[in-house]
Structure 1
Amino acid sequence: MILHNENRLPRTAPEQQGIASAGLLRFIEALDSQIHELHSVMLLRYGAVVAEAWWSPYAAERPHLLFSLSKSFTATAVGLAIDEGYFTLDDPVTSFFPAETPLVVSEFLAAMQVKHLLTMATGHASDPWTAMNERLDGNWIKAFLAYPIATAPGSQFVYNTGATYLLSAIIQATTGMRLSAYLDPRLFAPLGIEQMHWQESPQGITLGGIGLSLTTEAVAKFGQLYLHKGLWNKQRILSEAWVDQATALQITNGDDPDSDWAQGYGYQFWRCRHGSYRGDGVFGQYCIVLPAQDAVLAITAGIDVLAMQQPLDLVWQLLLPIMGTSSLAADPVAQRALTEKLASLGFSTVAGQASSPLAELVSGRSYQVAANRLGLERIQLHFSAAGCRLLVHTATSVETLVCGYGVWQAGATALFQQAFFGHTPFVASGAWTNEASFIMQVRLYETPFVYGLTLDFIDTELLIEIRINTALDSLAPVVLTAQQLSG
């Protein structure tokens, strides 16, 4: 039986789509046991969802920050705009930005075209993204166009988030609409995608290369659109020619046969092994399209950047072999086991005690924090039978983190400042792990990030260690010292 609901993909038993529930269970169990910090997974076969899971407290209705998986959506907007006649692949990049173009235009900059932005073959030796973010006047376009170009555009692949931002800026310059607004009636609305947020630059331009937040099902729908060559419910959304070009090998990017980052690059899509391709975001955001198997796999996560090959390896090793071409006999026992496993996935709350003899003594105390790069100035804790409330004073605000004992307590905070985040929803859990140590875990559940705070009380001092599950730079903990204030 195929289950339908408005704006939702149909759901079926795996066997109806040629997949044994027992084999799918082994794949899910491998993901759960081997991949640290997986947040969601959704598998489509022949257009129907055959398995879906969210590791609680992550949930189906909650969007997730996709990082560079955003790039594939930006490329989709470029394809639509080209088909609508706004510009072409061969247009010079400088032609769109006369006010931001340097007075002296190098030969390489003059030769840079839209297609070079799409294939990350701009000629830059490194990504201009950091220089763009650090530009004092906030004009990221000027920063990109002023960045040194080392080789002729089109000659080599260098990963370039700045290039995708320029694509977003071109969409805005030519259509008069921000990228997100341009895509809304052309992509998101036809696919029934209602929850969408895309961060913007200081110039008021959609980031393009990062910053898009969508639900897992929205990501799966996007993959299904590409799998069906731009058709959605028999409606032409995107030209078949663009889908073919965007997902084909446009430029080589390595020669490692075992790496899914060295199989070639299209227009903001990565080529994969086994004839597949994907949109891909750091920390484990994937939209994997498997044309030969008529399947799509959407994943969100918060995994380490060095472990991003591992989920793909499990797809090739455990998922591909169980995809048959014909429906299978129903297997209610195996299907029940799979359903129970999918429903049981989740992250445990912090283990420990809900109280300590020290709790009443330190509750209400204020601590002055020694100078630190996080800008934290003063901390106050309040312990009760229900949980802990942590007040953190900075120079400009007071942030409150509330955690429950044995439960996830919801809130929102700007304390953990990631670029462009602002106030971010979270859930938190805490416990006393010994008489003088309290641990709090804070999950920013619309992002890949999880923070762990260990608070050690030593007489009138407080030692605070802050850890994060994954990052592009150092994972070394931040250690803060604080002294009790009198009165």
Structure 2
Amino acid sequence: MPNIRSAVSGSALGMLALAALICGPAAFAQAEAEGVWPTRQWQTSTPEEQGMDSMALANLLDFGKTRSLDSLLLVRHGRIVLDAYYAPYTSDIPHRINSSTKAVVGTLAAIAHKDGLLDSFDHPVLDFFGDRSVADADDRKKAITVQHLLDMTSGIDWKEPLDGRPESVIEMSRQRDWIKFILDRPMSSAPGEAFNYNSGGTHLLSGIITKLTGMSAADYAKAKLFGPLGITVSNWWRDPQGNSTGGYGLALLPRDMAKIGYLYLRNGQWEDKSLLPPGWIDKVSHATVNMNMPRAPDLRYSNLFWALPDKHVYMANGYHCQLIMVLPRLDIVAVTTARDFCPLGRLADLISGAVKSETALPPDTTASNRLADKIREISTEKATETGETPGTAAAVSGRSYKFSANALNVKSISLILTHPSPHYDLELYASDPSQPSRRFIGPIGLDGLYRKADSIVGGVFATKGKWLNGSTFEIERQAVGMDELQKWTLSFDGDRLHLRGRDRAGREVSADGEAGG
């Protein structure tokens, strides 16, 4: 059994010992963990002190490399046992958690109910938008409740398949009033009849939170969730009306993502306060809404969390494996951030497989050293190969190439390659034609290593480039802390530049530009 921290009082020690006598070591470990609160900072431990195998965790980090993880963090019995970051991502950069934002919005709705602001999860949604004229407000639309939004069973016609193009989200993002767009959608089924993934529904929840509290979901989170948990670093996108985006757009540090998971692991309790209403987490952990995914038939949904009931696991899940995974039977919270999809069941099994005991294991120097070496390895960027610099580099350096509207959204690009500090000047068309273009200036690594630009609202961009031949330059621009990687090839031919890459949907596209005057 690991040493009890000095913060535990003598009377608490007696209660812990009683728990061990009555219920055994599992209850003892959980009773001890309940006195560990990471509000100011997380306590850390070796895996073996918490009954986990360092060698298995080293292998888990290798698995993470195959799934383009940016980070992997594990908490057991209230203490961090693994905290690893894959270069060029680092622990101090907030990471977009994509649709895990939905679970945070659901948590805020639960807090509003606990605080008496939301009278019932069965409250009809249209009641909160009585100041709006809603199209096609038939009996089915009037029957939509907050709980239907929480379970993705609203019946609103919405095209956002989990394995395809999110057409409705794209269309919504082009509107000046997102809430109006969602409310005016026709109905495709009766509320409660079928699961249909819908980021619009969670945006309505964000709007409802604002109606109830008089503040944005982001500000309410700072007051009622992030504040109590000690989360001080966050940013959150807003729609054109100023509402916090309900389906995505929140950025947090991985250690703070783990705090949200720990709140759920501790059944909504934080220090001496109960933040969530009774039954909320029980409904999450016993999710029953069938997600109807043929390739993952065991997945269930509830209160904006995904669940694998057979594995006793539930999670906040964001696009490209932004996960807050809770394994209550093992007293574990796992957090991943990434740039690719990951197999949820496989990941849960690998984490579970690293657990060898409810009490401390003997120290294992060999395994501990292997894990430490693996953490150093993944956190150290390795240079990729670079080609020889052709004479073309000097000819194109500093020239600005301009593009008409294109699928890559590039308006102009200039590469300054012969300067002592190579850099780029990139201008992108806004996705909304009524908005101004965006300009980015940042360094380029020509030695096979990324160079990071200054942090901006959109994240930290890291860029490197190399010559593939005498006229073709390849540039990789990664939004560190997001799941985006732009990999473009630039083929120079006199005053013309042919640009090739993939759009957000992964389709190969191209654009042609010309050097400016």
1:409 and 2:451 matched: yes
Matches within 5 A, 1:93-242: 93-102=125-134, 105-127=137-159, 129-135=169-175, 138-242=176-280
Quick one: which of 441, 448, 468 aligns to 1:400?
Answer: 441
Quick one: which of 282, 286, 290 aligns to 2:319?
Answer: 282
Cα distance, 1:373 vs structure 2: 4.0
Q: TM-score, normalised by structure 1?
A: 0.88
Distance in 2 (alpha carbons) for counterparts of 1:404 and 1:59? 18
SS at match of 1:8: coil
Q: 1:350–1:440: 8 Å Cα contact kept in structure 2? A: no
Quick one: which of 287, 294, 303 aligns to 1:267?
Answer: 303
1:430 and 2:465 matched: yes
Q: 2:136–2:186: 8 Å Cα contact kept in structure 1? A: no
- The percent identity for this pair of structures is 27
Question: What letter is aligned with 1:410?
Answer: K
Cα distance, 1:428 vs structure 2: 1.1
Cα distance, 1:397 vs structure 2: 5.8
Change (3 A) 1:116 1:398: closer
1:17 and 2:50 matched: yes
Distance in 2 (alpha carbons) for counterparts of 1:335 and 1:38? 21
Cα distance, 1:363 vs structure 2: 2.0
Question: What letter is aligned with 1:115?
Answer: Q
1:7 and 2:40 matched: yes
Distance in 2 (alpha carbons) for counterparts of 1:449 and 1:139? 26
> Which has the larger displacement, 142-151 or 121-130?
121-130
Question: What letter is aligned with 2:101?
Answer: S
Query: 1:364 matched to which residue of 2?
Result: 398
**How many positions carry a matched residue from both structures?**
464
The ranges of structure 1 where at least 4 consecutive aligned residues each deviate by more than 4 angstroms after the TM superposition are 1-6, 393-398
Query: 1:417 matched to which residue of 2?
Result: none
Quick one: which of 384, 392, 413 aligns to 2:418?
Answer: 384
Change (3 A) 1:442 1:349: farther
Distance in 1 (alpha carbons) for counterparts of 2:55 and 2:313? 24
1:320 and 2:352 matched: yes
CA root-mean-square deviation: 2.6
Question: What letter is aligned with 1:286?
Answer: L
Q: TM-score, normalised by structure 2?
A: 0.83
Quick one: which of 69, 91, 109 aligns to 1:38?
Answer: 69
Q: 2:408–2:501: 8 Å Cα contact kept in structure 1? A: no
Change (3 A) 1:484 1:140: closer
Write the deviation string for residues 232-289 of structure 1: whole angstroms up to 9, x where unpaired.
2343232342222233314222375x72x74221100111140110000011111110
SS at match of 2:468: strand
Distance in 1 (alpha carbons) for counterparts of 2:403 and 2:183? 43
> Which has the larger displacement, 198-207 or 140-149?
140-149
SS at match of 1:456: strand
Query: 2:291 matched to which residue of 1?
Result: 253
> Which has the larger displacement, 13-22 or 230-239?
230-239
Q: 1:90–1:114: 8 Å Cα contact kept in structure 2? A: yes
Cα distance, 1:450 vs structure 2: 1.0
Cα distance, 1:381 vs structure 2: 2.5
> Which has the larger displacement, 394-403 or 148-157?
394-403
Question: What letter is aligned with 1:294?
Answer: D
Q: 1:61–1:215: 8 Å Cα contact kept in structure 2? A: yes
Matches within 5 A, 1:301-320: 301-303=338-340, 307-308=341-342, 310=343, 312-316=345-349, 318-320=350-352
Unaligned residue ranges in structure 2 (runs of 5+): 6-35, 160-167, 430-436
Cα distance, 1:314 vs structure 2: 3.5
Query: 1:64 matched to which residue of 2?
Result: 95
Unaligned residue ranges in structure 1 (runs of 5+): 415-421
Q: 1:413–1:424: 8 Å Cα contact kept in structure 2? A: yes
Cα distance, 1:22 vs structure 2: 1.3
Cα distance, 1:91 vs structure 2: 1.0
